[in-house]
Amino acid sequence: MRVVLSGRMRSGLIWIGFLTVLCVPVLPAIWSPLLAWRDPIYILAGFAGIVALVLMFAQPILAAGYLPGLDIRKSRGFHRATGAILLVLVIAHVGGLWITSPPDVIDALLFASPTPFSIWGVAAMWALFAAALTVAMRRRLRMSPRTSQRIHTGFVLTTVLGSVLHTLLIVGTMETFTKIVLCLLVIAAAVKVAHARFKARSG
């Protein structure tokens, strides 16, 4: 039996699914036993990283205007605002870890850390900064929108890959199942939007 959903019901389900993905991965981390006896700055830095990963799922969806009820201009406005928040969260994540353990962060920034997750995290961070600079400096560098978008998308995909590997290699406060599902959804959203844009440009 085929079920036909009304437009309003379909929109509601999309929004519920979207908000669920944004909220569910964060909640189990709040009650993680690994937070016991942790320094408050370390905890805040960790949650800044978790929320940043959640926003990486939202970013391509907002850029493509997939959420019903938001026209493309508003959706891309939210995309830019969320991108700025994402940058702040990543800086807070690294800055908090710097305060709690400067030698580890220095090793990570120099790609000399013995832990692979640190290297992937730093690579993702620099790719994120490059993605933001590509947009901010497009006019000064006299790049066409098509060229800047391709470069931006390349850096974004690098950010996603590095962030997902960084997250999966860490045994931390995030619950394993929700962490894996979130990582898969982040990859799926980024790849889908990148593929759709490539087809639109080459079509």
The answer to whether 192 and 160 have CB atoms below 8 angstroms apart is: no
Q: Give the separation between CA 74 and CA 168, rounded to whole angstroms.
A: 33
Does the pLDDT at position 195 exceed 60?
yes
Q: Taking residues 69-96, report their average pLDDT.
A: 96
Predicted pLDDT at 5: 63
The answer to whether 62 and 79 have CB atoms below 8 angstroms apart is: yes
Predicted pLDDT at 200: 74
Q: Give the separation between CA 103 and CA 105, rounded to whole angstroms.
A: 5
The answer to whether 56 and 163 have CB atoms below 8 angstroms apart is: yes
Q: Give the dihedral sign, CA 115/104/163/170.
A: positive
Q: Give the separation between CA 198 and CA 185, rounded to whole angstroms.
A: 20
Does the pLDDT at position 108 exceed 60?
yes
Predicted pLDDT at 1: 46
Domains of the chain (ranges; CATH) run 7-202 (1.20.120)
Does the pLDDT at position 44 exceed 60?
yes
Lowest mean pLDDT of 41-45, 136-140, 148-152, 163-167, name the range: 136-140
Nearest one of 59, 91, 51, 56 to 78, comparing CA atoms: 59
Mean per-residue pLDDT over the chain, rounded:
92
Q: Please classify residue 33 by burial: count the beta carbons closer than 10 Å to its beta carbon, then call 0-12 exposed, 13-18 middle and 19+ buried.
A: exposed
Q: Cβ neighbours of residue 161 under 8 Å, at least 6 residues apart? A: 124, 187
Q: Please classify residue 59 by burial: count the beta carbons closer than 10 Å to its beta carbon, then call 0-12 exposed, 13-18 middle and 19+ buried.
A: buried
For the chain, percent of residues with pLDDT exceeding 70: 96
Residue 117: pLDDT band with limits 50, 70, 90: very high
Does the pLDDT at position 6 exceed 70?
no
